[in-house]
Chain A
Amino acid sequence: MSSKLSIKNVVLGYNDQPFTSRINLEIAPNEIVAILGPSGCGKSTLLNTIVGGVAAISGDIFLNEVAIQGLPTHKRGVGIMFQQPFLFPHLNVFQNVAFGLEQTKVSKDEIREKVESLLEMVQLSDYAERKVDELSGGQAQRISLIRTLAPSPKLVLLDEPLSALDAELRIELGGELRTILKTQNMTGVFVTHDRAEADLIADRVIDWQWS
């Protein structure tokens, strides 16, 4: 399910001290937007604000014209993926991917079917029962991606998801990431400090410094 994201006059800050001017951004359904900027400029804080981890000092965030700031994270329908995969170490690969589906009213058979199809999509079907610490960096990040997509969020946030990988894998996984997001009809916000990566994945690139 794809959604439109509108960010209106949002000011980010730390300890009630603003560190950005007003941010305004519109992202259309199915669009993947990359926000490009140096480390520490507030890109990750913006994603954290959209997902509900921190509150903005002021401004509004709308998802499909519905204000979401007042909602707790679990009710926003926003998925997030970080630089490190953050796979839950006490769960195996299957359980990690199924984690977000267990809350929805989906039968166990349907959950199994969905997880298996997602694993197949990233060509890791044989890894379902593996422990997460047995995965390589690229495999772990693929699992992290399909775990984010499994509950079909309205919006996917990607916080430098490729920067911990080596150059070759970054290009390979970057292309794969775009294909998967497009085939799943997802709206995505992708933050990075790497221009080439932004161009590879996004439909539109916004330079944080000049915007």
Chain B
Amino acid sequence: MGFGDEKLKTTPSQVAIGLVPVGFLVVVFFLPISLLINEVVQIGFSSSNQLSVLLESTVAISLTAGFQAVGSVVLTLLIGIPLAGLLSIYKFSGQRFLQALVLVPFVLPTLVTGLAFRGLFDELLSPGLLLLWLSHVYVNLAVVVRIVGGAWGALDQRYESIAASLNKTPVQVFRLITLPLLKPAIARAAALVFVFTFSSLGLVLLLGGSQQTLESQLLRQISLLLDFPAAAVTATFQFLISILVLAIANRFNSAKSDLGSREKTALPRAMTRVPIVYVVLLLLPLLSLFGLSVRTNTGISLQNWVSVLQDEATLDAVFASIRIASITGLLSVTIGLFVALAARSRGLQKLPLLFALPISVSSVTVGLALLLSSRSIENLLIPNFLLASIAHSLVALPFVTAVLVPAITNIDSRWYTAAAALGANSWRGQKVVLAPILDRAVPLALTLAIAISLGEFGAASFLAEANQPTLAVLLLRLATRPAAEALGMAAVLAVLLGLISLGLSMMWQSQESK
């Protein structure tokens, strides 16, 4: 029996531990979402005409967003699969740097990436579908590299050696063997990229021009039109489509993926420039963002930096962001820990799946559902920053549980038995076994949750107090103002936010590598 194969028995205390996060999820997720769906049903009953008009426009936006998302998926796969191969089958100098660099755009808040692309393409490419596609590729390359590259690195090269020895050319080997064996991973990556780009918000707002997604429509309905019934229809539709796509993607998770492991080979001489090309392409938008932050009407200067750092609104935004991010970190990690501790028992192994559900719902939808449900209860006064923190916690939970659950459930129960045999009581046994694992996993989960909260602006834009926006919301407000100085100031905020996210990302990557 292998390490971690033995599960604990399900005891009443384990069930009690499991009830805490389930109760949290019911109150802040399932009930608000069901209220949202109920709102749609009510519209349907009271005015079927209104519902059909709303559905018609929602379907139209979905089709446009679907086309955009399919294009994004195709382009991301075309550029990402060769990069995944480069990183997983070859070894070359600078490989670790390129590996880390690929993750940067995914970690950065989308508003930061959006501004970086504005800075890069400035007058070359006006906002629209092409610019949106390029930025989506940039952000989602990490998804393809992580999933497809992971599968490729685990694909025993002897499958390919045998195919080559059976008279197949390298192209045929790739087409007939490598690609089919990578198909489940490619499908999984494609589905995730589809969900991310179909529900894209920050990049659509900054780079999409006339492009719309259900997300941007939802934000417009809530923030500009104050049309909550229409927003409920849009949110429900978005939720159902995401669930459908993720359910399809989940089918590929069960596909057989144990195909051995690969030993990396030296990069062929003819390909030595390929990593350099990828490094340049990945660095260009980041450098152009810094360029945008020092560009003013009068030339290159630090005026934008001075304006931002002297502005009281910046300090207020920093405070608001830290407050919401701290609560998000504490809340999501506490709930995540309860989930992980409960999931150690045999009967509650599947519990974490429940906490992956919020990934199918956008932050705007979560925020809207929370807002509607808090309004539906009379005399319930929940401060908006707390609602924003809860919304951020729900967005962060799938990622936090993905870190904490395997760390804690992979502990072989025989460690506890060994501790007990040495005289430790139940509490001390748990402490001795869990402490070293938690020392590594909790900071990792915490930084992840904080980074997600700092970059999130969809829910925060209407949940955070109007006079105290978060850094991300302030960035969006500045970036969408027509004045050139505002764009420069937004770029400064983007650089700051980007640096904080990168710092957090480096912290968790160093934790992960331990």
Contacts and interface: CB of A to CB of B under 8 A. Distances in A.
A82 interface: yes
Of B156, B166, B168, B259, chain A has the most CB atoms within 10 Å of the CB of B166
A127 interface: no
A151 interface: yes
A88 B175 CA distance: 13
Contacts of B177: 88
Contact of A79 (B165, B170, B176, B256): B165
7 contacts: A72-B169, A73-B164, A73-B165, A74-B172, A89-B256, A148-B166, A150-B166
Interface residues of A, number: 30
A81 B177 CA distance: 17
A84 B260 CA distance: 10
B481 to A, nearest CB: 54
Of B156, B162, B170, chain A has the most CB atoms within 10 Å of the CB of B162
Interface in B128-185: 156-159, 161-170, 172-173, 176-177, 180-181, 183
A54 B168 CA distance: 17
A78 interface: yes
Of A78, A81, A99, chain B has the most CB atoms within 10 Å of the CB of A99
A70 interface: no
B170 A72 contact: yes
Contacts of A153: 165
A174 interface: no
Of B164, B170, B176, chain A has the most CB atoms within 10 Å of the CB of B164
A72 B164 contact: yes
Contacts of B163: 88, 99
Given A88-B177, A89-B181, A82 B158 contact: yes
Contacts of B159: 86, 88
Contacts of A15: 266
Contacts of A99: 163, 166, 168, 176
Contact of A86 (B162, B170, B266): B162
Contacts of B168: 74, 99-100, 103
Nearest to B164: A73
A53 B161 CA distance: 7
Of B161, B165, B170, chain A has the most CB atoms within 10 Å of the CB of B165
Of B167, B170, B176, B256, chain A has the most CB atoms within 10 Å of the CB of B167
Interface of B: 156-159, 161-170, 172-173, 176-177, 180-181, 183, 256, 259-260, 265-266
| Chain A residues touching B, majority SS | loop
Given A88-B177, A89-B256, A90-B181, A151 B161 contact: no
A161 interface: no
A81 B165 CA distance: 10
Interface string A80-96: 11101010111000000
A51 interface: yes
Nearest to B161: A53
Contacts of A133: 256
Of B159, B173, B260, B265, chain A has the most CB atoms within 10 Å of the CB of B159
Contacts of B181: 88-90
A163 interface: no
B162 to A, nearest CB: 6
A135 B183 CA distance: 23
Interface string A89-118: 110000000011001100000000000000
Nearest to A147: B166
Given A73-B165, A88-B163, A147-B166, 4 more contacts: A52-B165, A73-B161, A79-B165, A100-B165
B156 A74 contact: no
Contacts of A76: 165
A20 to B, nearest CB: 18
Contacts of A139: none
A110 to B, nearest CB: 16
B165 A80 contact: yes
B158 A79 contact: no
Nearest to B165: A80
A163 to B, nearest CB: 15
B167 A104 contact: yes
Nearest to A150: B166
Of A48, A89, A148, chain B has the most CB atoms within 10 Å of the CB of A89
A156 to B, nearest CB: 10
B162 A151 contact: no
Contacts of A104: 167
Q: Which 4 A-B pairs have the closest CB atoms?
A: A100-B166, A73-B164, A103-B167, A90-B180
A52 B176 CA distance: 19
Given A86-B159, A88-B177, A90-B181, A51 B165 contact: yes
A104 B167 CA distance: 8
Contacts of B176: 99
Given A74-B169, A90-B180, A52 B164 contact: yes
B162 A80 contact: yes
B29 to A, nearest CB: 39
Contact of A74 (B164, B180, B256): B164
Given A72-B170, A74-B169, A86 B164 contact: no
B156 A151 contact: no
A103 B164 contact: no
Contacts of A52: 164-165
Contact of B156 (A54, A81, A86, A100): A86
Contacts of A84: 158, 260
A81 B158 CA distance: 9
